[in-house]
Amino acid sequence: MIQSKNILIVLLLLFISCKTEKASKKEAKEQSEVQTEIVYDFDKTILLNHVKELSSDAYEGRETGTQGATKAKNYIISEFKKLNVQPLGNDFGQVFPLKEMQGENILGLIKGSEKPTEYIVISAHYDHEGIKNGDIYNGADDDASGISALIAFAAYFQKNPPKHSVILAAFDAEEKGLVGSFYYVKNPIVEQTQLKLNINMDMISRSDKKELYAVGPQHYPQYTSIIENTKTSGDLSLKIGHKEWTHMSDHAGFHQAKIPFIYFGVEDHEDYHKPTDDFENIHPIFYTNAVQTILTFFKDVDNSSL
Ligand SMILES: [Zn+2]
């Protein structure tokens, strides 16, 4: 008797597991069908390849002042050049002192078609934690995801020139205390008064809850309705929240100089500042939806008066 019961249980379990497998396959198929319907203003594969490249072991975790950081710097500059991004200063690099060494911001310019003397600074940081105890901290989410979005925007602007001038800022030494961005705000190359808004992206590539947060409207309420009316992509939800992140990334220097900012980021995850923040652990669909949502926000802002 017991034996026939066991067989029944096994059969039941088998039935349930193939049911759930079928269901998850169906969901994945539906999701990819939905994804294919969404219009992206950039090439998703190229975007993901940038993250994969910059977060590969060859970049040794991109710690400021290391060969890995120099390799990342050269990669970003070569992508900017391919996309006809101009250097903001004499060249793309802005060297700044950092204790016994130096860091280097990368600053690109796309001249605005209608308001060329009003600048929107779109930023991310290319440095990360480097190598510790033999472990490489690849920083796929933190912040290869933001830097790759920056390059995707450059590709978009090549075909769709913005009305405002755009400064594409790949900051260095964020992990050392926001050093590169604070230096830039004090040495903006253009007049500081011409800097109208900072859009900062730091960790935008994964969220189990599919939530992308915007910080800034809490201080600059003129952006609340633009954020709330931003058309999001896919099943991502865009939320205003986490005011406590106001000083947690490169937007802090702009805020201190009373330049409005909108910071986009996700809540911390189990791989935050761990050697496991690898490309394999990002959420590609959420990420592409996040980048498209931020670009949509930019377009809405660019069409408004700042
Ligand atoms: Zn970061």
**Collapsing DSSP states into helix, strand and coil, what is residue 75?**
helix
Residue 143 Cα to ligand 1 midpoint, Å, equals 5
Percent share of the chain, pLDDT over 70: 92
Written as six digits, the tokens of 183 are 């230096």
Mean pLDDT across the stretch 210-218? 98
Whole-number Å distance, alpha carbon 202 to ligand 1 midpoint, is: 5
Ligand 1 centroid–CA 105 distance in Å is 15
Distance CA 46, CA 298 (A): 20
Average pLDDT, the chain: 94
The pLDDT value given to residue 305: 85
Residue with tokens 């002042």: 65
Q: Give the pLDDT of residue 9.
A: 79
Q: Measured in angstroms, how far is the CA atom of residue 24 from the centroid of ligand 1?
A: 33
Among the listed ranges 25-34, 46-55, 192-201, which one has the minimum average pLDDT value? Answer: 25-34
Least confident of 26-40, 75-89, 93-107, 163-177: 26-40
Which residues neighbour 282 within 8 Å (Cβ) at sequence distance 6 or greater? 51, 140, 141, 145, 205, 206
Which ranges of the chain would DSSP assign to H, the alpha helix? Answer: 2-37, 44-54, 67-82, 145-159, 179-186, 224-228, 252-256, 284-302
CA 7 – ligand 1 centroid, Å:
53
Determine the Cα–Cα distance for residues 243 and 181; give it in Å rounded to an integer: 20
Q: Ligand 1 centroid vs 219 CA: distance in angstroms? A: 21
**How many A from CA of 13 to the centre of ligand 1?**
44
At CB < 8 A and 24+ separation, what contacts does 86-93 make? 86/110, 86/111, 88/167, 88/189, 88/190, 89/189
Q: Residue 135, preceding bond cis, omega within 30 degrees?
A: no
Report the separation in Å between the CA atom of 142 and the middle of ligand 1, taken as the mean of its atom positions.
4
**Cα 6 to averaged position of ligand 1 atoms, centre (Å):** 53
Lowest mean pLDDT among 37-41, 56-60, 220-224, 281-285: 37-41
pLDDT digits (tens, 9 = 90+) for 124-151: 999 999 999 999 999 999 999 999 999 9
pLDDT, one tens digit per residue, over 60-92 is: 999 999 999 999 999 999 999 999 999 999 999
Ligand 1 midpoint to CA 140 (Å): 10
Instruction: Work out the average pLDDT over 234-240.
Output: 97
Q: What is the pLDDT of residue 26?
A: 64
The average pLDDT across 112-129 equals 98
Tokens (6 digits) for 260: 């409005």
**250 Cα: distance to centroid of ligand 1 (angstroms):** 8
The rounded Å distance from CA 14 to ligand 1 centre is 44
CB atoms within 10 A of CB 47: 23
The CATH classification number of 42-302 equals: 3.40.630.10
The answer to whether residues 171 and 123 touch, using CB atoms and an 8 Å cutoff, is yes
Confidence of residue 35 (pLDDT cuts 50, 70, 90): low
Q: What angle do CA 132, 133, 137 make, to 5 degrees?
A: 35
Task: Determine the distance separating the centroid of ligand 1 and the alpha carbon of 292, expressed in angstroms.
Answer: 20
| pLDDT of 199 above 50 | yes
Name beta bridge partners: 135: 132
Calculate how far, in angstroms, residue 125's C-alpha sits from the geometric centre of ligand 1. 7
Helices and strands per DSSP (H, E), number in the chain: 8, 11
| Residue 31 neighbours by CB under 8 Å, 6+ apart | 235, 285
Residue 157 CA to ligand 1 centre (angstroms): 24
For position 1, what pLDDT does the model report?
45
Helices (H), 38-123: 44-54, 67-82
Dist. CA 23 → ligand 1 center (Å) = 36
Cα 178 to ligand 1 centre (Å): 9
Confidence band for 15, pLDDT divided at 50, 70 and 90: confident
* CA 203 / ligand 1 centre spacing (Å): 6
d(CA 285, CA 295): 16
Domain range list for the chain: 1-37, 42-302
DSSP notation for 255-306: HHTT--EEEEE----TTTTSTT--GGGS-HHHHHHHHHHHHHHHHHHHTS--
- Output the six-digit token pair for 196: 């109208």
